[in-house]
Amino acid sequence: MIAASIVGATGYTGAVLTRILAGHPDVELQALTSTSYVGRNVGTVFPDLRVRGQYVEYSPQVLEGSDVAFVCYPHAQAHGVVAELVDAGCRVVDLSADFRLKDLSDYQSWYGFEHPRSDLVEEAVYGLPEVYRAEVTKARIVANPGCYPTGMLLGLLPAAGEIDSRGVIVDSKSGVSGAGKTPSDKTHFCSVTENFRAYSEVGHRHTSEMVQELGLAAGTALPVSFTPHLLPVDRGILSTMYFKPSGRLLDTEAWLDRYRLFYADEPFVEVCEHVPALSEVTRTNFCRLTVRTDERSGLVKVFTVIDNLMKGASGQAVQNMNIMFGTEEGSGLEGLA
């Protein structure tokens, strides 16, 4: 049994983690920490979670004995706790952005803080299993990818080597849970229902992850023009991506074959003939995707759908834990939805 704790368990990603881990056959759930709900029962804070337990205040002590900790703190607030836990011998899956970027200066330019632990940044493994499965196995820190980068990378990695130098366009549409649980004008029901909008329309922070990982896969830097939009749905991200191939234009079937080959052994990526809808992956850890050649414009279009709280966050975090501890990769993740 893996002894697992969740640090910052009362946001959306923490709640989804709680649900998954409570039903995971190989996990014993240890501490659930919270800042706002210390002493309250899980079932009181989240009536739809049928999980026993009480939230406790975070301290290294309450995590003693945990084999792994999932850290669900906001960006720039996670790295301290992560370092503390790792230094104390606990392996960590960090759901923040604090260890995703390899170039230290990126933390300053994209997230506005100076990162104090270059050693851990270097050591941390970017937790996209489809690329870094081997490294995750031994990782002390897994930097769990952002929701948008997950959907984007799964859609473009198989083609990375063949993308024209002008780069890619990533037009993403996300459900509201991606904005987090803290109420705001933007997430008020009356602002969202029967509405739709772009936001962070230039320079959204997730661009940095996309550029880093796509560049690594392509072997060369490629510009990424990323635009997120807010859908009037609870969960899910659909990304529509466009690129011009550097070589000659293959047809749709040829692209589909490549993608199928690329993901042939992946348990959580499904290459589809049809254009997948968001609801096909909601409350699952699957990414579904398809590719189309647009002969008229000479472009390739890629469509991916994921659940932002599952494959885009907590589900992928558990997938990473499974890999880290050598259990079945899909353990605890089947049968959802």
- What positions carry a catalytic annotation? 147
Only segment of 29-37, 66-74, 118-126, 171-179 that touches a copy of itself (CB under 8 A):
171-179
Asked whether position 151 contacts a copy of itself by CB under 8 A, the answer is no
Asked whether position 190 contacts a copy of itself by CB under 8 A, the answer is yes
99-138 footprint of a copy of itself as x/- string (CB under 8 A): ----------------------------------------
Asked whether position 36 contacts a copy of itself by CB under 8 A, the answer is no
Rule CB under 8 A: choose which of 133, 140, 260, 283 binds a copy of itself.
Answer: 283
**Distances, alpha carbon 178 to alpha carbons 54, 148, 258, in Å:** 25, 10, 31
Asked whether position 196 contacts a copy of itself by CB under 8 A, the answer is yes
Question: Does residue 208 contact residue 151 with C-beta atoms inside 8 Å?
Answer: no
Quickly list DSSP for 102-116. Answer: SSHHHIIIIIS---S
Could you tell me which of 121, 116, 117, 68 has the C-alpha nearest to residue 90? 68
**Distances, alpha carbon 68 to alpha carbons 75, 83, 108, 245, 320, in Å:** 20, 13, 28, 42, 11
Only segment of 61-69, 70-78, 143-151, 328-336 that touches a copy of itself (CB under 8 A):
328-336
Quickly list DSSP for 281-307. Answer: TTTSS-EEEEEEEETTTTEEEEEEEE-
Residue linked to tokens 């589909």: 256
DSSP state of 316: H
What six digits make up the tokens of 71?
Answer: 């850290």
Compute the distance between CA of residue 196 and CA of residue 192 in angstroms, rounded to an integer. Answer: 7
Asked whether position 292 contacts a copy of itself by CB under 8 A, the answer is yes
Asked whether position 202 contacts a copy of itself by CB under 8 A, the answer is yes
Least gap, CB of 321 to a copy of itself (angstroms): 18
Least gap, CB of 48 to a copy of itself (angstroms): 5
Question: Does residue 217 contact residue 149 with C-beta atoms inside 8 Å?
Answer: no
Helix (H) or strand (E) holding 137, with range, is helix 129-138
Please give the radius of gyration of the chain, using alpha carbons only, rounded to the nearest integer. Answer: 19
Least gap, CB of 145 to a copy of itself (angstroms): 20
Asked whether position 145 contacts a copy of itself by CB under 8 A, the answer is no
With H, G, I as helix, E, B as strand and everything else as coil, classify residue 225.
strand
Cβ burial of 296 (10 Å; 0-12, 13-18, 19+) is: exposed
Rule CB under 8 A: choose which of 1, 294, 326, 328 binds a copy of itself.
Answer: 294
Asked whether position 260 contacts a copy of itself by CB under 8 A, the answer is no
Least gap, CB of 208 to a copy of itself (angstroms): 10
Asked whether position 265 contacts a copy of itself by CB under 8 A, the answer is no
Compute the distance between CA of residue 253 and CA of residue 258 in angstroms, rounded to an integer. Answer: 9
Asked whether position 276 contacts a copy of itself by CB under 8 A, the answer is yes
Closest to a copy of itself by CB, 47 or 247:
47
Rule CB under 8 A: choose which of 40, 298, 326, 328 binds a copy of itself.
Answer: 298
Rule CB under 8 A: choose which of 64, 84, 162, 234 binds a copy of itself.
Answer: 234
Asked whether position 188 contacts a copy of itself by CB under 8 A, the answer is yes
Binding to a copy of itself, residues 46-75 (CB under 8 A): 47-48
Compute the distance between CA of residue 229 and CA of residue 246 in angstroms, rounded to an integer. Answer: 28
Asked whether position 238 contacts a copy of itself by CB under 8 A, the answer is yes
Asked whether position 232 contacts a copy of itself by CB under 8 A, the answer is yes
